Structure 1
């Protein structure tokens, strides 16, 4: 025999069923893509660097292009001290993506950093060039001439300081004993040099770096060659294997009036993430990085060096599964 619900009971049942259907519809609307759009959505954090550095400018340009390519993704930029700081933020889960130099990644791994095994790469980007900046009238002609001088070596936990310490050692100098090390970032070192409070400063960045270019426009400076240090640098072993001989083109900073290229060292930069990141998100971000190289390169000239043929060489990190999927999809 059929059970007849009281009129009020039937009404409540219908209302409950309707409310349940509405809740289910809202849940499906949130979880499932609409109109076939399967692009990632949500919030991600991108660790960059100091405000006047190339990492920061690159991050801003990439955020612009991600907003266009992945409208459901909200990207927050996070200032940092540089590569070592960025690697730690990623490993500890405080950032989703970051730019970091290969030597800083390798150093974190070799030091047994927390969750170092979870780090993954999306792409090899462009190279950072080590730049030793002095006033044009300075007597400094090589890193060996820095003994006893006030030298900007970058902030603690920065990629600049990581390389500067090794370069000074290659020149026979101890950063803590043989020079007056000033631990400031690129956002402060140019002003200190201009004010006569520094004799020289090291900087590692893409070419050209805005802060150095601005200083060259306002104050007579030049770059000091570092090419003679590549041999003793490599003999130190460890992460120095990621440094290669390179040259800063004479026209990298037009206001310097350099006549010749300056021999120096360079280190590759990587777009880094962790294995916690969903493959679909890593794939989409990698696609935006590669496909928008020229757009980003308008503001970040170094980004024009991003190349599909070299992007997969991300030593010391394995490619993220999502990034690898992207590269397979565009393989000729």
Structure 2
């Protein structure tokens, strides 16, 4: 058979859709909408981070200084023990010798002085500037010891015509001695001679007979000096018969009792109980002291002063006792609940680091969780709003189409509908919202049919 010479009919070729243009219309995610949704939460979080960093305490310093008393005094000895304990935690405590409590307060109140702490005898700073100074609590007693020659006495007023060593300028012993003597009618320029001897000088002058009375206390007497005087024949320690009255008149004083034989059981020294009066020595700091160091210092003081002694019971010191200086907030918290969890279970340096990190992280986490939970909802609202905004225009066109518009109005509405369709077709849409995009396009067709009546 001869093949049919007629060529096979050519099939019409249907134009394929522009796949690239279609792909460009849909995206996996709308980065612009995501940025707009995520941006406020990010800015808010950064602001919270900046605020937390600004408010958080810096790391505690590795070196601090304390103004103590004269070398060899109970003040200076206590400060040296604090330094040894703080060194275990990597903190260097510089112990500065001073003239005594008065000098210590002046140093601490002077912002130009490189002093962070001071041991201060209560009752000596009523006329000094105490602004910005706080107490970490009472550390120990510093009883005033009135040693004298002659017949047995029981009142300070018995020394109205005596030569009395009241301590050097700058010492707490001098301030306290002047206050107590004044209450007994003894003042500078009167019948008594008030001499600026203290410590070893006062003790030697009393032994040599150059003075009749020596008034010594914690920051003006060393242990060896006091033991020397107690054992010197002819020298007596005043038994304050009016001790209770002093504690009522001077609220910073406490009544103490030395038991019989407490100094020497063999020689029975003293031979009878002796009543004493004593101020409390406080550890005073600037109110800028780091909270972690506050806890560490009170812990050191507990180790040094917490044992039983001649004048105190076990666990009596340190205490939340404060007289002329307000107890710091950190000390108040410590005495109420002790050290924080981290400081109880971790080394000091690590606890300090974690403590500061938590102060920054916890507020941020609290803010970030709700902030970022809102991001998906905000993102969805942003995407859908681009779709929903065209429905207002469609409803307006449809309402006009329902009231029998003129041919001219139909032409105008058709042009507006073309513009809407063109704008919608140019719109980029995340794939997750493709269904709503196509529903919008169907509604455009629906309105067009209502307009043309087809």
TM-score tier by shorter-chain length is 0.7 to 0.9
Matched, 1:161 2:174: yes
CA distance in 2, matches of 1:67, 1:168: 42
Matched, 1:244 2:257: no
Give how far 1:273 is off.
Answer: 0.5
Residue of structure 2 equivalent to 1:129:
143
Residue of structure 1 equivalent to 2:325:
317
Change (3 A) 1:146 1:218: closer
Structure 2, gaps ≥5 residues long: 1-57, 340-454
Q: Is the 8 A contact 1:128 1:205 kept in 2?
A: yes
Residue of structure 1 equivalent to 2:201:
188
Structure 1, gaps ≥5 residues long: 1-37
Count of matched residue pairs: 277
Q: Is the 8 A contact 2:133 2:286 kept in 1?
A: yes
Question: Residue 183 of structure 2: which of 161, 170, 179 is its match?
Answer: 170
Q: Over aligned residue pairs, what C-alpha RMSD do you find? A: 3.1
TM-score by length of 1: 0.72
> Counterpart of 2:142 in 1: which secondary structure?
strand
Change (3 A) 1:57 1:210: farther
> Counterpart of 2:251 in 1: which secondary structure?
helix
Give how far 1:139 is off.
Answer: 2.7
Residue of structure 1 equivalent to 2:316:
307
Which has a greater percent of strand?
1
> Counterpart of 1:44 in 2: which secondary structure?
strand
Give how far 1:306 is off.
Answer: 5.3
Q: Is the 8 A contact 2:81 2:304 kept in 1?
A: no
Q: Is the 8 A contact 1:134 1:193 kept in 2?
A: yes
Deviations 1:65-118 (A, max 9, x none): 1222x22x222111222222211111114321111122124x1xxx2x33x121
> Counterpart of 2:65 in 1: which secondary structure?
strand
Larger Rg: 2
Change (3 A) 1:126 1:284: same
Q: Is the 8 A contact 1:171 1:229 kept in 2?
A: no
Change (3 A) 1:61 1:167: same
Give how far 1:218 is off.
Answer: 5.3
Matched, 1:139 2:151: yes
CA distance in 1, matches of 2:243, 2:68: 29
Matched, 1:222 2:236: yes
Matched, 1:197 2:210: yes
